[in-house]
Structure 1
Amino acid sequence: MTPGLPMVVPEPGLPERVTIYEVGPRDGLQNEQALVPVAVKAELVQRLVAAGLPVVEATSFVHPRWVPQLADAEELMTILGEAGRRHPVLVPNERGLDRALALGLQHVAIFGSATETFAQKNLNRTLETQLAMFEPTVRRARDAGMDVRAYVSMCFGDPWEGPVDPRQVVDVGRRLLDLGASQLSLGDTIGVGTAGQVTALVQAFRDAGVDEGRLAMHFHDTYGQALTNTHAALRAGITTFDASAGGLGGCPYAKSATGNLATEDLVWMLTGLGIEHGVDLGALVATSTWLAGELGRPSPSAVVRALA
């Protein structure tokens, strides 16, 4: 056992390796009230890459009126240069896609809802018309050779509608895959999900003919269930997990959506289970400690607090 690392005790039946999809620079910072300088954002992306994270979502091309924190998206991607072309960005619609295409980016993501109410509040669309909005965005992105990921929010519970039927999530998810998305990220946007729900949702997708390899999980830790739910997802065969460095983040359109699963907490658990992830925990903790200093408050991550 190395100081600062857990004892490794593998658990039979879990994946040998997982991909951590880092969302901190976009999802982690979008809710910050004080504007973070673009130079800090660029350094954050570069430090996360240097720490070994294989995918780092950099920003969102949403209209600045809705998310002022990300109004510097073009400037950030320009600073990141050629290396930045491989970082995913969120595009809410065709206008956002146009901005990504102009910069020659290679990976985009769209953000849909599994519930009617959140589709209306977040996208100003119905559950049905959100799909019509996404169709030309995905088609044009794919025609341009881009990879497209689809986020599905409110997959476990909705603050207005309550528990969400897995069949509803599967219906929205399958239709996004049919549009051309390569992967679905299933979000527990308000953090109310439990391990049994995770297992049931993965099985519902399997029953509908969707392989678990096309699914990712995006957990929030509002009720302290993110790691428990991650473990359930690992046992169900999921191998891609979204996480945010330092546990930052939330959703500006759902007040009960608190911080994302902290990347450091995820790495600690995966390391202890003997699952390969390729991330240098020390470098990651140093990055989140530095970012906490830039933001002027301690990191929400338990592992960062323990090791910093």
Structure 2
Amino acid sequence: MSDKLYTSAVEMVEVGPRDGLQNEAVQISTFDKLALIERAIAAGSRRIEVTSFVNPKAVPQMADADAVCAGLPERDEVTYIGLVLNGRGAERALATGRIDQLGAVCVATDTFAQKNQRQTSDQSVEVAQELVAMAQAAGKTGQVTIGASFGCPFEGEVAEERVVAMAEQLAKANPVEIALADTIGVGNPAHVTRLVKAVTGVIAPIPVRVHFHNTRGTGLANVWAAIAAGVRTVDASIGGLGGCPFAPSAAGNVATEDVVYMLERAGISTGLDLEKLIETHRWLTGVMDKQLPAMVGRSGGFPKPAETLKKELA
């Protein structure tokens, strides 16, 4: 096997403020959400999914979407992403004047699509195309995530051909990227490799982004497989928080600090400061008042030599 790296750099999308928090039972204050966003920026994050514009009765944790947007730091180099499921959500997001990119979602199975956004799978594709068009008409960009790409909590196995066909349809709207989401964490590296290559084959030059949950411990392996297959943009959540209110047993996202540690140690740049991510993990542990799933956040980075520690402490 060649020692040549798959790539020299990978872009990380921080989804903690939205996907990381949306399924938490304890209501997180707007102040703390904004503090998390500011900490992510300080650690180097330049694309952040800050909130979702959905019915607050369905997802109470995101009820303060407008307030979060009003408090976002003025940072021209940072792309703020708002998740939207329908035209009303898109209008709200655009009206804030702070959202740079709309993130639309479609779902690979009818049952999950109905529970998640009251649409059939085909309808969710059509709506996602419309949302991308709304973003473009407003001078913004739009991207689309295909939920349950690797398996559905209600219908089980999802045919790879189905996901590929959806991606091909979505590409007609010219989104900046199409993401494959393992919503319930059932994917494996072989499946990831096949699906990423198949989707890339029908949507190129539109890039593929990946969104993995670590529900069954395969998250990091899936990230590595995706990068080997050509992916250059990866979603992750500080602390490894995450879950979907409409998908049973959809445990946390791959943790930002875990992915950064793995990639940076492999010589792949992420542009993120691991020590600041670990500091944020510890701060977020206090906010959530519980142990967070991320491993590196708890263990720290690569152990420093004793001489280095002595100099730092001197």
The two structures have a TM-score, normalised by structure 1, of 0.92
Once residues 217 and 133 of structure 1 are traced to their aligned partners in structure 2, the CA distance between those partners, rounded to angstroms, is 21
Structure 2 gap ranges (5+)? 302-314
- State whether structure 2 residue 68 is matched by structure 1 residue 76: yes
Q: What's the CA shift for 1:13?
A: 4.0
1:231-289 deviations in whole A, cap 9, x for unaligned? Answer: 11111111100000000001110012101000010001001110011100000110111
Superposed counterparts of 1:86-165, under 5 Å? 86-104=79-97, 105-165=99-159
Once residues 33 and 139 of structure 2 are traced to their aligned partners in structure 1, the CA distance between those partners, rounded to angstroms, is 27
Name which of structure 1's ranges 41-50 and 105-114 shifts more when overlaid on structure 2: 105-114
Superposed counterparts of 1:205-216, under 5 Å? 205-208=199-202, 210-211=203-204, 214-216=207-209
Change (3 A) 1:207 1:214: closer
Superposed counterparts of 1:277-292, under 5 Å? 277-292=270-285
Larger RCO (CA within 8 A; separation ≥ 6): 1
- Partner residue of 2:58? 66
Asked if the contact 1:11–1:273 (Cα under 8 Å) also holds between the matched residues in 2, the reply is no
In structure 1, what residue type is equivalent to 2:232? Answer: T
Change (3 A) 1:87 1:179: same
Asked if the contact 1:212–1:237 (Cα under 8 Å) also holds between the matched residues in 2, the reply is no
In structure 1, what residue type is equivalent to 2:246? Answer: Y
- State whether structure 2 residue 13 is matched by structure 1 residue 17: no
Once residues 297 and 205 of structure 2 are traced to their aligned partners in structure 1, the CA distance between those partners, rounded to angstroms, is 31
Secondary structure of residue in 2 paired with 1:305: helix
Once residues 292 and 302 of structure 1 are traced to their aligned partners in structure 2, the CA distance between those partners, rounded to angstroms, is 13
Asked if the contact 2:105–2:128 (Cα under 8 Å) also holds between the matched residues in 1, the reply is no
Superposed counterparts of 1:179-190, under 5 Å? 179-190=173-184
Asked if the contact 1:216–1:238 (Cα under 8 Å) also holds between the matched residues in 2, the reply is yes
Asked if the contact 2:200–2:208 (Cα under 8 Å) also holds between the matched residues in 1, the reply is no
Q: What's the CA shift for 1:95?
A: 0.8
Asked if the contact 1:249–1:258 (Cα under 8 Å) also holds between the matched residues in 2, the reply is yes
Structure 1 gap ranges (5+)? 1-9
- Partner residue of 2:172? 178
Give the one of 19, 34, 47 matched to 2:39.
47
Once residues 212 and 180 of structure 1 are traced to their aligned partners in structure 2, the CA distance between those partners, rounded to angstroms, is 10
Asked if the contact 2:103–2:142 (Cα under 8 Å) also holds between the matched residues in 1, the reply is yes
Once residues 272 and 212 of structure 1 are traced to their aligned partners in structure 2, the CA distance between those partners, rounded to angstroms, is 29
Q: What's the CA shift for 1:53?
A: 1.3
Segments of 4+ in structure 1 off by > 6 A? none
Change (3 A) 1:206 1:294: closer
Name which of structure 1's ranges 117-126 and 261-270 shifts more when overlaid on structure 2: 117-126
The two structures have a TM-score, normalised by structure 2, of 0.91
In structure 2, what residue type is equivalent to 1:211? Answer: A
In structure 2, what residue type is equivalent to 1:90? Answer: L
Once residues 221 and 136 of structure 1 are traced to their aligned partners in structure 2, the CA distance between those partners, rounded to angstroms, is 31
Once residues 206 and 222 of structure 2 are traced to their aligned partners in structure 1, the CA distance between those partners, rounded to angstroms, is 17
Change (3 A) 1:81 1:178: same
